[in-house]
Structure 1
């Protein structure tokens, strides 16, 4: 039985497996606690088994540098998946902006996928974004991303973390994430700002009316109406968000590969 197993292939297979497993630890949709851990490990194992035959790793050193290569593969998988998660979290940040204006900021819910607290509207937008991602086979593109990462980041090579372009690119990705979140939230937040202005005028002209009692239900009603009207715009912005996420993952891989 041992003769049928190529023992020299185990170090290379471990490198491939570590990157894929680390990628699924932070990747949106695949990293959620609702997915059983044995399923994640098994899926990473069989995916690494398939990708192993497409990886050119003839120059992998089996010495003290091998431990550094394992650490490098884990860092690559974690950072690529984390970047995708950070950009996709723009949906929840936009929902947080909207909840703050609606008065729902105090009513957070527990996200069963991540176990963290999430704003109500942000969680609603996030579920729609994930369903849209699945409907356009975006999860296939995420797996394609880790597959083609071996063309940009070699298994036997190291990453120059002293490259200032990597830090600058991550900062730009953060800026882009907040910009997309602002674009998602500005239609509803703008409508609520006009409601606040109208309530302020009413409070000055009709002092007998208690605007604090009328204001909160009115803002909630206007928010839901605005969300219904701007839902088509939201789908377009989510599409742009996915495009930005895939582009950022590709550019980060190129920076890691020294391109």
Structure 2
């Protein structure tokens, strides 16, 4: 019976396979929704990346015959980091679309002054956008979105194994063109409330022409806010459909991204 032998080459190959997969996973967790939030400590993110890498390590295809600390190994590390960031960025666009859509409605309602510091992005956003973002995150967890991210990582190593190539010009163009999907999703979220607020503003403009002495600031702002809130409450159940639509588009875009990498 032949004893199981470990030499330096085998250990370096295992180390390279684990390290390259870890870099892709950690880069995705750095910008992916929920995991990349600023209120998640860095130690937690690192621990999650290590846990996922350990789970996926036995299922990965054979690594390329490249030394981890060589120049080619550093190129592979850079490729995995870019791939992970691109995948996480595409998924993050889903929630950015919701934020932008509700932010447009908040500004038209006159709630631009009601600003709250978003702990996920470290920036300021309207309170209504923060509320819808929290609801979208809860829906994301209810849809097992955190498990979907792990499954997406496992599929990414199957579609594009380590050493299969890096992002090319077409891949970067695909990521940039996803801004169209961002605006489509924002329009689906904001269109009902924005249309209602626009109708109210047009009505107030007609009233101001018919009764110039009417105090429009005392009537127009409360009326606009009331109509906006009522329409947002009435259309809140449709947020689930919009989120599912954006998630499907994001997953299809990630698949196209991995397939066009060379």
TM-score of the pair, normalised by structure 2: 0.91
Kindly state the Cα deviation for residue 90 of structure 1 after the two structures are TM-superposed: 0.0
Kindly state the Cα deviation for residue 187 of structure 1 after the two structures are TM-superposed: 0.5
Q: Deviations over 1:193-250 (max 9, x none)?
A: 1101111111111222111221111111111110111122222112212212222222
Aligned-partner Cα distance in 2 for 1:38–1:4: 32
Q: Unaligned 5+ residue runs, structure 1? A: none
Choose from 78, 83, 96 the match for 2:85. 78
Aligned-partner Cα distance in 2 for 1:246–1:81: 11
Kindly state the Cα deviation for residue 172 of structure 1 after the two structures are TM-superposed: 2.8
Structure 1 residues 92 and 242, CA, compared in 2 at 3 Å: closer, same or farther?
same
* Moved segments of 4+, more than 4 Å: 3-6
Aligned-partner Cα distance in 2 for 1:58–1:16: 10
Choose from 23, 37, 44 the match for 1:39. 44
Aligned-partner Cα distance in 2 for 1:242–1:7: 39
Once superposed, what is the RMSD of the aligned Cα atoms?
A: 1.8
- Give the corresponding residue for 2:55: 50
Aligned-partner Cα distance in 2 for 1:41–1:167: 27
TM-score of the pair, normalised by structure 1: 0.92
Aligned-partner Cα distance in 2 for 1:20–1:233: 32
Kindly state the Cα deviation for residue 20 of structure 1 after the two structures are TM-superposed: 0.6
- Give the corresponding residue for 1:105: 112
Structure 1 residues 203 and 24, CA, compared in 2 at 3 Å: closer, same or farther?
same
Q: Unaligned 5+ residue runs, structure 2? A: 1-5
1:108/1:120 contact within 8 Å kept:
yes
1:57/1:156 contact within 8 Å kept:
no
1:105/1:119 contact within 8 Å kept:
yes
Aligned-partner Cα distance in 2 for 1:227–1:78: 33
